[in-house]
Amino acid sequence: MRIAMIGAGYVGQVSGACFASFGHLVVCVDTDADKVARLQAGETTIFEPGLAELMAENGKAGRLEFTTDLEAAVRQADVVFIAVGTPARRSDGHADLEYVYEAARRVAGAISGYTVIVTKSTVPVGTGDEVMRIVAEAAPNKEFSVVSNPEFLREGAAIDDFKRPDRVVIGVEDERAKAVMAEVYRALSLNQSPVLFTSRRNSELIKYAGNAFLAMKITFINEIADLSEKLGTDVQEVARGIGMDRRIGPKFLNAGPGYGGSCFPKDTLALTRLAKDANSPVRLIETTIEINDARKGFMAERVIGACGGDVTGKTIGILGLTFKPNTDDMREAPSLAIIDALQGRGAKIQAFDPEGMTAAAEVLNGVDFADDPYGAAAGAAALVIITEWDSFRSLDFARLAEIMERRVLVDLRNI
């Protein structure tokens, strides 16, 4: 099939490259000409293991192109995916759908022949209906369907999650669109990845409910971790014990400094807004958000406590800045709130992260970036592990003991 992917961000680049590797002809569209030029030159603009190779291979095979010309890409496409950002609105936390609606309007003007328009971005329930209305109004005599196909990609594992998903969720309202989407994902059904066809609105809520549940699960084990510190129990053993119940499952039970990233914070917030608007508040998720936000500040208190209650003028070494390992993404990373709180109490911060320091330098002030973990630990009153990069799992403690001012290691990830 001929696919146009509107938006060449984390989701658009991975989805576009993977669809191309399924044999489809993909054109990724972005408004950012610099980004498009870099992508055309074979550069990826995000750190995602395996993506550069996948893009190069499919680019060479002539199945993957990048352009700023949305109209041209849409005109020749059978399927148009809208994979633009839906950030939380600063004012009230609702998902900001302006980019989605702008894309829908432009797509409407450019489609020729029956086209399936797919929202891949995470959008509130009912957005597909609104896109339907926008396109019908802008292109009254054109044939099209609007479909929901949310992504469940974890950064750092996105390609594997795309090619070997637990399931593909597709929200369709007509048989013709269903047949087209079955064809788009045929390569997956060949390796038995279940495709769930449901209504568009069900599909939209499945995405939010899934992320909110995962965020709540993490917050649950984080509270059990705090309780464990008081009871002298080991939260990792408790997590292992409950996770052996198949109804609970072992994943997403790693206690830590709180969840961050580009999805959980914005999707949980958007769901609570959506629920409030529907006069059916999701109080468990409201509480999850409150606990998670407070946790990051609470972690700073833990560090200050480990330094005897005062960090004024002390150097603190930070290992890991990104919101999780195997990504360069700093969005809502716990390190931001923790470092801010420590600096507020007079600490001097030196930090190391294998991939995130370039992005971190954009959002952190007054932090010295080191070349390796030992550079971050030199002269420090405490060393804090915030992100569980593999390279932090085998630190040379003798060397740390030599170079640190105090032998204090605060491991916020239990590695």
- Calpha distance 330→349 (Å, rounded): 17
CB of 35 to ligand UDX, least distance (A): 20
Three state DSSP letters for 285-339 = HHHHHHHHHHHHHHHHHHHHHHCCCCCCCCEEEEECCCCCCCCCCCCCCHHHHHH
- 171, two tokens: 């929200």
Residues 6 or more apart whose CB falls under 8 angstroms from that of 121 comprise 7, 11, 82, 83, 84, 85, 86, 99, 100
The secondary structure of residue 370, as a DSSP letter, is: P
Phi, psi at residue 202, to the nearest 5°?
A: -60, -45
**Cβ atoms within 10 Å of 181's Cβ, excluding its own:** 23
- 84, two tokens: 């633009």
**Cβ atoms within 10 Å of 141's Cβ, excluding its own:** 5
28 is catalytic: no
Is residue 410 helix, strand or coil? strand
State the Cα angle at 80 between 74 and 83, rounded to 5°.
115
Q: Applying CB under 6 A, which residues contact ligand UDX?
A: 151-155, 211, 214, 218, 252-254, 256, 259-261, 263-264, 323-324
Q: Are 329 and 358 in contact (CB under 8 A)?
A: no
CB of 413 to ligand UDX, least distance (A): 8
- Calpha distance 314→310 (Å, rounded): 8
Residue with tokens 């032998």: 407
CB of 220 to ligand UDX, least distance (A): 11
Q: Are 182 and 168 in contact (CB under 8 A)?
A: no
The secondary structure of residue 89, as a DSSP letter, is: P
CB of 303 to ligand UDX, least distance (A): 17
Q: Which residues are catalytic?
A: 263
